[in-house]
Amino acid sequence: MATLYTHKTANIQKTWLLMAAFFGIVIAIGWVFATVYGSPGILYIAVIISIMMNVISYWFSDAIVLRLHRAKPVDSKTDLEVHRVLENLSITAGLPMPRFYIIDDPAPNAFATGRNPEHAAVAVTTGLLKILDRSELEGVLAHELSHIGNRDMLVSTVAVVLVGFVSILSDMFMRSMWYRNSDDNRGRAGGIIILIGIALSVSAPIIASLIHMAISRKREFLADASGALLTRYPDGLASALGKIAAYSRPLRTATNATAHLFLENPFGADRPMAQGERRVSWVVRIFSTHPPIAERIAALQGFAPKA
């Protein structure tokens, strides 16, 4: 029988399988490009540039994201009850109390950021605090603490590094093709490799981004399961997701760069599926950073204790 523990384990396995596929794509692209150029030197440069850009972004990610969304520290005196909820959950999870922020926005949402548990931050919107009761808020904050405890920031950073690496390689390859002497590519075999390289340079960034989105969706399912383990009350988070789905307006500061961090899509949460309504199409699914909210609610309700 499926439990919260087996659900968590399954999502961890699927996530690392996706990461392995990601590395396989990077290796394949590197081999093709190295064959076209006849030298791996340019690949080393691309790797160094990509890693440097993303390490800097990762190191200062919390400050960048919090400023981008105009988050302000929660006052532990005026917002004592909310602060106490996060503090109690942090103790239960065995995690350091993260810095706590609030975003003045009516759209109900939340996110966690930071490079590790010791440098983490959790932010919630005023809209979220307005519509949720205590058990629902506990479910949401437990979800965000689970992202911290499960080291999702690390997995996300690795994925971003790989996406950046693939994009840089593709861009360099396409630009260099304008300057390459056609005499260097004589022969049928050479021409085929060049065509393969061009095809990969166009499709690789798209494929890499799709895998990144898939990883993000798996981490959301994992955080849902881990959060339910923490509170022992899956219905709290399920109810919160239902309320969030009823609000369709986007977050005012929503951006594609940080969309994967949020509890639910900041561009407007999808509503739960009505009875008899068709499921979300596969095209919409693969281009989304979050799984359909109806599936998340169903998964949480499936793991709720039976009366």
Catalytic residue ranges: 144
**How many Cα atoms within 13 Å fall on the side-chain side of residue 214?**
19
H helices of the chain, where?
Answer: 4-37, 41-59, 61-68, 80-93, 126-131, 134-149, 152-177, 188-231, 234-245, 282-286, 293-302
Output the known binding site.
Answer: 143, 147, 220
Which residues does 13 contact at the CB level (< 8 Å), separation at least 6?
A: none
Residues 78, 81, 83, 85: what is their CA dihedral angle, to the nearest 10 degrees?
-170
The kind and range of the H/E element at 103 are strand 99-103
Sheet containing 72-73, strands listed edge to edge, beginning at the edge strand earlier in sequence? 72-73, 99-103, 120-125, 110-114
Q: What share of the chain is helix, strand, coil (3-state, %, to 5)?
A: 65, 5, 25
Contact criterion met (CB below 8 Å) for 2 and 303: yes
Give buried/exposed letters for 29-50 (b at 16+ CB in 10 A, else e).
Answer: bbebbebbbeeeebbeebbeeb
- Token digits of residue 38: 């006849």
- C-alpha–C-alpha distance, residues 143 and 225, integer Å: 8
One-letter amino acid for residue 68 of the chain: L
- Token digits of residue 187: 């022969």
Output the known binding site for Zn(2+).
Answer: 143, 147, 220
DSSP state of 95: -
